[in-house]
Structure formats: structure tokens, C-alpha cells
Chains A and B, each alone.
Chain A
Amino acid sequence: MTSLTTRINTAVQAGRKAIIPFLTAGFPTKNDFFTHLEELDSNGADIIEIGVPFSDPAADGPVVEAASLKALEQGVTLQWIVEELTKRKGQYQAELVLMGYINPFYQYGFEKFAKDAADAGVSGLIVPDLPLDESGEFKKILKQHGIALISLIGLNTPKKRMQEYADNAEGYVYVVSYMGTTGAAVAFPPELKKTLTEAREVFNIPLALGFGIKEPKQLEPFGDAIDAVVFGSALITDIEEKGTAVPFMERWK
């Protein structure tokens, strides 16, 4: 069982959902990013997803895309992220996961990245444009270095396909709450309950719900059907308004 699974299970055993904030690396500035990372870490984050900026984030909505482009303008690179995390290794109580599109990892070199990321204390990776069929080589390398490649599933993922993911799934399963990109303001569609029920039957690792999540009351209809909650766009917008991540984290306590 990976450290990510353990961390979520611990939260669930304590009668709560695990809290997984997402923040784009180097946002809003290289320095302030680490201030906010500490705020997330000391205000209840169980796992923190750090966004690796990419010029063409085709699965993201406008908030994450803007944050990503802002970070790139300031010279944020995957190498910088790995180096800065390595310097701070051991400072965070939360587990760290990197989330980004495949090309920067491909250019870095899969083998070198897996080694460097493991040395930097990264325990998981989410790659939105790396579906099951393309993930084999990278997943194998990551596993050798103890890094879990998180599976993403959506409302249109058939149960049979979930089963294919489940055969090698690690860490947690990221369930995308609606058919769209990150940060859209929509009500969850009725099919979500069915997807969560099927995912619970198929996977033996925790389920995290993400996309479009702003406040705890959105989760009420789902009860024990989910184990963790991911929020990104709403957090980024709140940080932009208030200059701090603390008020947003307070909502989840």
C-alpha cells in the first residue's frame, strides 16, 4: 500500500474526507508559491497536488490555464520544481503529488525524472493526457522509484475500462465529477452517483472527487461514496483575491 493510500485511509478512519488542495507551481510568484504551500500544509492538507505548468493545458479550464501561463512567464520549469522541492525535503507533513501534462516529463526523461522526483519526496504523479493505453512504460519506471501514477476516471468511463485501470491502480483514484475541464461552475450531474458506486466496486484504493469543487456542502449528497476531495481553481481564485490560502483551507475544517 502506498503512502498516499495510507494517508487517505487514516483520514477516513478519523471520520473525515482527506483534503487535497491543488496549486500551480510558482504561482503567483516563485517565492509566494512556497509561502502558500506551507499554508496548505499547516492548515489541514493531507496531500498537496502541485501543478507543473504547461503551455497547452487542454484538460484545464481558464483559471488553471492562466495560473500555468503566469508561472511559465516567471521561468518556472519542471527542473526548478524538482530542485526546490529537493531543498525542502522533509519540511512538509502532507504527501506531495505532481500534476502535469506528459510533454515536460518526456523531455526531462522518464527515468531521470522518476529518480529526481523520488529524491525530492514526491510520492505520486497525475498526468491528465496519459490514459491507460499510453501509460505502460512511464508507470513501470515510476513504480520502480516508489511513485504512484494516479488513475483518472470520468462519468463516461465504462465499468470494464475501470477494471483495466484497477488491475494496476495505485495511491488513489481521481474521479472527475462532470464532463468538462477544471474549475467549471456546474451542479454535479446525476450520473456521478452511479460512477462512484461502480468505482467503489471495482477499485480497492480510495476515491478522490475533483473538478468544480468549492465548498464542503457540495459533498453532502455523496456521504461515504468518496474518501477525499480535490480543489484547485476555486483555491487559486481565492488566493488571488486574498493573498493567502488560509481562509479557503478554513472552510474544510
Chain B
Amino acid sequence: MSKGYFGEFGGQFVAELLIPPLKELEDALENIVPSEAFQKEFSDYLKNYVGRESPLTHCPTLSTDLGFNLYLKREDLNHTGSHKINNVLGQALLAKHMGKKALLTETGAGMNGVATATAARALDMDCIVFMGAVDVERQSHNVRRMKLLGATVVPVEAGSKTLKDAINEALRFWIKKQATHHYCFGTAAGPHPFPTLVREFQSVVGKEARKQIIERTGALPHSVIACVGGGSNAIGIFSGFVDDCSVNLIGVEAAGTGEEGCTNSAPLCLGTAGILHGQKTMLLQDADGQIMPSHSIAGGLDYPGVGPEHAHLHHCGRAEYVKVNDMQTLHAFKALTRAEGIMPALESSHAVAYVLENKDKFPKGCNVIVNLSGRGDKDMDIVEQYTELFD
């Protein structure tokens, strides 16, 4: 396999001016990350700042309905409310070791932006966040959080004014500021080494979940299920089970409103291979190679591409990728909240929805893990628009 590739996907399709900082990061991934000093410091932050390990919660009510055991990996309980903090603290710490003074990042729904702004405070670094102007408008709560945390939020007016445009602008800014800034890429996508680096920092989710399920049930689970946008929470939990051939890995993409031909965020299910943001991967694009707009009710899944390792796991068949629409997601959001008192993020609700909608696909009595990647408090404004849910 060539450097930075997962099968035929991945690579480093960036301007020559970005090759030196990517090489610097490759060196850091190889030399700093495995060092005892770095690992010790990172573990300490995960334990005492993030609050790891996160619990593996059994869902008694839903499990009775389903006829099999549903377990949730509780990334929603992390500081800042999602799995994003694992990656961001790892990268911020690495940046500090590399002598960088500041973090730059992109954000869609704002969760990665909030997590990065938080890590910047924890490590006393400056932080600049690029965010599509449309997202700034619809996620104003998170914009206020980032500003309160001392980050500079730059609204991006170009293109579709959403996450993909924020990434373009962040890449442009990084060309200029590479000497002082680390680009804290928010998901397991983008040019090499980001997909590997982000997986490395999210792999704690899979390691913990594997250990916890074996302790609790004495065996590996039947299936591990996670939502996939860029794919960092999914690759984090999958990485713990990818070598266990008996475990089904299921990634759930966002189908948007769900009708034929609708705007969606499901490049693995509905897209074609192409090159964007430094990586060869599966994309939503037209026949001329222009990137199409994406949509999901969950802002964190709203991206027309996906991390290259997922494209590879899809291509080689090790993981299965499916899709769930907005309404199915909202029903799952309500079902989990009412049944177990756990309010999932709309992103994570996609993974829950797949289980609820497809219970016949799982054998009676088996054990299934859903990665509950984030909490739903941030989604109240969206959910409240669907008043029928609260009848």
C-alpha cells in the first residue's frame, strides 16, 4: 500500500505549498505521538479533563422491545458533549509539542469548533475557526460558545457557505500561516496524515468499547454501529473491532429527507469515487466532477465526502454502509430519550435509527453496540420544529 493510502483511497492531493507542513505532521505522527511522554500526557488529559473512560450503557427498555441487547458507547458524556474532544486534545497537544502557537480548524454544526476552542484554552493556544456563513446563522448557539472560549470565528461567504467551503478557506489560511498554526482537522478525512492521525486519537473509543463489552458479556459483540459524516467517531470505534472478523461493522450515512434524488449526505451509498480536500474518496458529485451540495438534519453529517478509510472498508466489504433519513432519525431521537432518558445528538440518532428500523436483521439475544457520539442538547432548536414529536 502506498504511503497515506487505504487501498486505492486517500493520498495527499494538495497544493505543493502545503506539502512541507503535512510532512512536518507526518514526522510528528511517527516520532512524537508514540513517545511515552506524549502518551502519558494525552492519557492524563483524556482521564482528568475529558472524563474518560466513557461508560458502556445497557438499554433495558429498548432491548426488551428489540429482542436483543443494545449497548451505547457514551461519547455524549465527554466534556463538550461529543467524541470530537478526543481528537482535538490529541492534535492540540501534538501541535504544542511541535512548537505551534495556534490552532486553526473548520466546523459545520459547530461541535468541532467548540471542542477545538476548548482545547486551545486548556493548552493556552490561540484558535481561529472557519465556519460557513449559513452554518454561522443556523448554529448561533455554538458560535457564541466559541467566542466565549476566546476563539475567532470567521464566517465563510464563498460557495455553498457550509462545511466544505469552510474546509477550503481553512486550507487557504493554512498556506499562509503554516509556520505558526496547526490545522486541527476535525474529522478522519482530508490529506494524509489527517485520516490516520484522527483515527489514532479516536481509537480510544474502540479500545474501551471492546474491553467493556467483553467484561460485561464475556464475548465480542454481534455488531458495532456508528453514524458516518466525515467518519471520525465511526473509525474510532471500528478500529477496536476491525481485526475481529466476526463483528459486523455498520456505518450509517444521512439520507437527507429520503426521497429519490433528494439532497443527502451519503457518498458511500449514493456517491462515486473522486478527489476533494486532499483525498481520493467517495463523493457526491456530478458527471463533470463538480462537488454537489449535501444535506442532513444533523449538521455534523452534512458533508459531500467521507474519510478515505471508510471508502476502503466499504470497497473491500469489511464494513457495511447504510443510510437513514431525517424523519427516521427524529423518531429514534425521541425513542431513546423516552425509553432510556438519554437524549442523543441528531448525528448519533442516525445510528440508533438504523437499529430500531432493522431489528429483524439482528439475532435474538445478541449484543449490539451503538456509538452514541454526542448529546442532543445542541439540537433542541431543530427538534422543536417537529411539534408532532412532543404529542
Q: Which A residues form the contact surface with B (CB < 8 A)?
A: 54-59, 61-62, 65, 69, 72, 77-79, 101-108, 128-134, 152-158, 161, 176, 179-181
Assess the B158–A107 pair: CB atoms within 8 A.
no
Residue in A106, A108, A129, A161 whose CB lies within 8 Å of B15: A129
Say yes or no: is B276 at the interface (Cβ < 8 Å to chain A). yes
Q: How distant is the Cα of A156 from the Cα of B176 in the complex, in angstroms?
A: 11
Assess the A157–B289 pair: CB atoms within 8 A.
no
Q: How distant is the Cα of A154 from the Cα of B164 in the complex, in angstroms?
A: 25
Residue in B16, B175, B289 whose CB lies within 8 Å of A103: B289
Residue in A59, A102, A104, A105 whose CB lies within 8 Å of B290: A104
B14 and chain A: residue at smallest CB distance: A129
For A153, the chain B residues whose CB sits under 8 A away are 16
Classify the interface of chain B: helix, strand, loop or mixed. Answer: mixed
Q: Could you tell me the distance in whole angstroms from the C-beta of A113 to the nearest C-beta in chain B?
A: 11
Assess the A72–B290 pair: CB atoms within 8 A.
yes
Say yes or no: is B57 at the interface (Cβ < 8 Å to chain A). no
Assess the B275–A106 pair: CB atoms within 8 A.
yes
Residue in A72, A79, A157 whose CB lies within 8 Å of B16: A157
Say yes or no: is B278 at the interface (Cβ < 8 Å to chain A). yes
Say yes or no: is B316 at the interface (Cβ < 8 Å to chain A). no
Assess the B275–A59 pair: CB atoms within 8 A.
no
A155 and chain B: residue at smallest CB distance: B17
Contacts A56-B159, A181-B172 given; does A131 touch B15 at CB 8 Å: yes
Q: How distant is the Cα of A130 from the Cα of B280 in the complex, in angstroms?
A: 12
Q: Could you tell me the distance in whole angstroms from the C-beta of B350 to the nearest C-beta in chain A?
A: 25
For B63, the chain A residues whose CB sits under 8 A away are none
Contacts A55-B291, A59-B172, A77-B288 given; does A179 touch B17 at CB 8 Å: yes
Top 3 A-B pairs, shortest CB-CB distance = A107-B289, A104-B289, A103-B289
Interface set, chain B 256-313, CB cutoff 8 A to A: 274-278, 283, 285, 287-291
Assess the A58–B17 pair: CB atoms within 8 A.
no
Assess the A129–B13 pair: CB atoms within 8 A.
yes
Q: How distant is the Cα of A180 from the Cα of B11 in the complex, in angstroms?
A: 22
Say yes or no: is B168 at the interface (Cβ < 8 Å to chain A). yes
For B16, the chain A residues whose CB sits under 8 A away are 131-132, 152-154, 157, 176
Q: Could you tell me the distance in whole angstroms from the C-beta of B308 to the nearest C-beta in chain A?
A: 13
Interface set, chain B 311-351, CB cutoff 8 A to A: none
Q: How distant is the Cα of A101 from the Cα of B3 in the complex, in angstroms?
A: 22
Contacts A58-B277, A78-B288, A78-B289 given; does A180 touch B176 at CB 8 Å: yes
Assess the A106–B19 pair: CB atoms within 8 A.
no
Q: How distant is the Cα of A130 from the Cα of B274 in the complex, in angstroms?
A: 13
Q: How distant is the Cα of A154 from the Cα of B15 in the complex, in angstroms?
A: 10
Q: How distant is the Cα of A73 from the Cα of B20 in the complex, in angstroms?
A: 35
Assess the A65–B158 pair: CB atoms within 8 A.
yes
For B87, the chain A residues whose CB sits under 8 A away are none
Assess the A103–B275 pair: CB atoms within 8 A.
yes
Say yes or no: is B209 at the interface (Cβ < 8 Å to chain A). no
Assess the B288–A131 pair: CB atoms within 8 A.
no
Assess the A131–B289 pair: CB atoms within 8 A.
no
Best-surrounded residue of A61, A65, A78 (most CB of chain B within 10 A): A65
Say yes or no: is B233 at the interface (Cβ < 8 Å to chain A). no
Q: How distant is the Cα of A56 from the Cα of B305 in the complex, in angstroms?
A: 12
Say yes or no: is B12 at the interface (Cβ < 8 Å to chain A). yes
Contacts A102-B275, A179-B175 given; does A152 touch B15 at CB 8 Å: yes
14 contacts across the A-B interface (CB closer than 8 A): A55-B290, A72-B290, A102-B275, A107-B289, A131-B12, A131-B13, A134-B11, A152-B15, A154-B16, A156-B17, A176-B16, A176-B17, A180-B172, A180-B176
For B225, the chain A residues whose CB sits under 8 A away are none
Assess the B287–A102 pair: CB atoms within 8 A.
no
Assess the B171–A131 pair: CB atoms within 8 A.
no
Assess the A134–B290 pair: CB atoms within 8 A.
no
For A65, the chain B residues whose CB sits under 8 A away are 158-159
B305 and chain A: residue at smallest CB distance: A56
For A61, the chain B residues whose CB sits under 8 A away are 172
Contacts A131-B14, A134-B11 given; does A103 touch B159 at CB 8 Å: no
For B274, the chain A residues whose CB sits under 8 A away are 103, 106-107
Say yes or no: is B178 at the interface (Cβ < 8 Å to chain A). yes
Assess the A161–B19 pair: CB atoms within 8 A.
yes
Assess the B158–A134 pair: CB atoms within 8 A.
no
Q: How distant is the Cα of A69 from the Cα of B158 in the complex, in angstroms?
A: 9
A152 and chain B: residue at smallest CB distance: B16
Residue in B19, B165, B277, B288 whose CB lies within 8 Å of A107: B288
Given contacts A103-B285, A129-B278, 4 further A-B contacts (CB under 8 A): A58-B15, A107-B285, A131-B16, A153-B16
